[in-house]
Amino acid sequence: MRKRKFVTAVAVALGVALTATACSASGSGDDVIKIGTVHPLTGVNAGDGAQLENGAKLAVRDINAAGGIKALGGKELAIDPGDTKGSAKTGQSEAQRLVSGGAVALIGSYQSAVCANVAVVAERNKVPYLMDICGDNSILENGYKYTFRMQPPNSRFGASTADYVKAVAEQAHRPITKVAYLHENTAFGNGVSKAFAARAAEIGLTMGPSISYDAASVSDLTTQIAQVKSSGASILVISGYYRDGVLAAKAVQTVKPNLDAVVGAADGAFDQPQFPTDAGRAGNGYFDVNYHINDKSKKGQDFVKAYTAEYGDAPRTGAALAYDSVMVIAAAIEKAGSDDPEAIRNALGKTDVTPVVLSDGPVRFSETGENLSTLPVLTQVLDGAPHVVFPEQFATKQIVFPAGPGR
């Protein structure tokens, strides 16, 4: 009996935990144009969700301070927030709630599984959805008409990482013997690692072991790093999230594999401002190929200053992507001279917003909705902070290579 009680309790609790959803009232009023945000404000990803949300709020503040939407007589923008809690199902119901509440566009959502569900809502309701962070290629392979992406897709990260690693090693006259890959085992990690392997085969890099792990449950990566060590690889590429990125760095510090470099491929940790603090000495010299705030542009510097002043915290690139997303939508409303979702969608491709995030010119979208101006860059942790080191025209510090642990 007791056994049954225990097992029943576990089953019921899992059910409750999975179906718990929020019902929060949204403010209404016709004097503002509402943009719905669908971010994880609570749950495991709440830290990043808050950054994204803050970035979007900052953009709205800037636009309203500059006189609102001029084409509509200075009408102001407002954020209508939705909390996905990191769950695709909740994200979908939140998106539906926001659209029903009068949001003329959606931005979000940080996790690809959530984005895929929100995109369905956007398409069904014919409301433009601008994905700030969402790497999964397959979302935009559905022939969607209202869904657009700001960040580079996973395939782009994988291919760029292979190219950058090879270029940097050649520059340093230090041939790569073998590349080991450690990645988390959902669409993100699998997608990036596959794209890397494909590109690596094209440009002649030898691949070693490809090791996957479950980011949600992993509490130690020592064994995986021991596998990397015994493979004799000289480069370790990692695609993971923040918490497991720190675990990986600490495991590398303990096991001390004979590496020339640890390189993140769109890794969620190695280019973050707080990573050097959390990882300590273990994080020295780590590379990451990621989207990044343009530290060299005045716009980028102003954004960092404004964000830090407003929220008392350094912005991560996600915050900048959300900021850029709101700016693009605002520009589309301005261009269309209307806050009708269909008109906004049609004007999205005709704006000339230069993003805060490093890019190859103003935001422009492909047929499928990919942002063609995105530009992944290589960052490296040097002197306790991540800096852009490659490509050279964006570099703010000299690259250090080899930069393996224990060197």
Partner 1 sequence: MSPTQTDTNTLASIDEVEAGTGARLMKNLRSSTPALIMLLVLVALFVAALLRSGSMAITGQALLTGIVTGGVYSLLAMGLTLIFGVLDIVNFAHGAFLTVGLFVTYQVVESTGWNPYFALPIAIAALFIIGMAVQFFLLHRTMGGGLESQLLITLGLSLLIANVLLMIFRGDPLSVNLTSDPGVNILGAVVSRSHIIAFVGALILAGVVYLVLDRTPFGRAIRAVAASSQGAGLVGINVRTVYAVTFGLGAACAGAAGMLIAPFTTITPTAGDQFNILAFVVVVMGGLGNVMGALIGGLIVGLVEQLGGVALVGQSPLLGVFLLFLLILLIRPQGLFGGKSS
**211 touches partner 1 by CB under 8 A:** yes
Q: How far apart are CA 159 and CA 199, in angstroms?
A: 5
Stretch that binds partner 1, among 157-165, 276-284, 317-325, 359-367 (CB under 8 A): 276-284
Question: How far is the first Cα of the chain from the last one, in angstroms, to the nearest whole number?
Answer: 59
Which is closer to partner 1, CB of 78 or CB of 385?
385
Token pair recorded at residue 138: 């397959």
- For position 23 contacting partner 1 by CB under 8 A, the verdict is no
> Is residue 43 within the footprint of partner 1 (CB under 8 A)?
yes
Considering only residues 280, 337, 361, 384, which one is a binding residue for partner 1 as defined by CB under 8 A? 280
Q: Contact, 175 vs 169, CB < 8 A?
A: yes
Amino acid (one-letter) located at 234? S
Residue 47: both structure tokens together: 């830290």
What letters, b where the CB count within 10 A reaches 16 and e where it falls short, cover 330-348?
bbbbbbbebbebebbbebb
Write out the binding residues for partner 1, residues 308-347 only, by CB under 8 A. 313
Pairing of strands 129-131, 32-39: unpaired
| Position 45 contacts partner 1 (CB under 8 A) | yes
Work out which of 32, 36, 39, 49 binds partner 1, going by CB under 8 A. Answer: 49
Counting residues that bind partner 1 (by CB under 8 A) gives 54
Residue 268 CB, shortest distance to partner 1, in Å, is 10
- Interactions with partner 1, residue window 236-275 (CB under 8 A): 242-243, 246-247, 250, 253-256, 274
Q: Which two tokens stand for residue 252?
A: 């590398």
Cα–Cα distance, 318 to 298 (Å, whole number) = 19
Smallest separation, CB 179 to partner 1 (Å): 17
CA distances from 313 to 2, 4, 50, 316, 387 (A): 49, 49, 11, 9, 18
Q: Which two tokens stand for residue 139?
A: 């979302």
Q: Does 307 bind partner 1 (CB under 8 A)?
A: no
Q: Which of 216, 310, 384, 396 binds partner 1 (CB under 8 A)?
A: 216
Q: How distant, in Å, are the alpha carbons of 120, 156, 164, 170 from that of 196?
A: 29, 9, 11, 18
Which of 24, 217, 393, 398 is close enough to bind partner 1 by CB under 8 A?
217
> Which range, of 64-72, 142-150, 217-225, 327-335, touches partner 1 by CB under 8 A?
217-225
* Cα–Cα distances in angstroms (integers) from residue 8 to residues 3, 4, 20, in the given order: 8, 6, 18
- Least Å distance between CB 222 and partner 1? 5
Instruction: Using the minimum distance from each CB to partner 1, give the nearer residue, 51 or 380.
Output: 51
Specify the stretch interacting with partner 1 by CB under 8 A; choose among 1-9, 60-68, 294-302, 375-383. 1-9
Binder of partner 1 out of 22, 47, 368, 397 (CB under 8 A) = 47
Residue 21 touching partner 1 (CB under 8 A): no
Closest CA to 284 of 293, 295, 275, 294: 275
Whether 98 contacts 55, CB under 8 Å: no
Sole window of 9-17, 139-147, 194-202, 287-295 interacting with partner 1 (rule: CB under 8 A)? 9-17
- Best CA proximity match to 318, nearest among 9, 47, 106: 47
Q: Burial-class residue 181 by CB neighbours within 10 Å (0-12, 13-18, 19+).
A: buried
Judged by CB under 8 A, the stretch of 16-24, 117-125, 136-144, 286-294 that binds partner 1 is: 16-24
Is 3 a binding residue for partner 1 by CB under 8 A? The answer is yes
At closest approach, how far in Å is the CB of 32 from partner 1? 27
Q: What span, in angstroms and rounded, lies between the C-alpha atoms of 40 and 161?
A: 28
The tokens for 368 are 């499928």
Among 164, 213, 365, 394, binds partner 1 (CB under 8 A): 213
Contact footprint for partner 1 (CB under 8 A): 1-3, 5-10, 12-13, 16-17, 20, 42-50, 185, 211-214, 216-220, 222-224, 226-227, 229-230, 242-243, 246-247, 250, 253-256, 274, 277-278, 280, 313
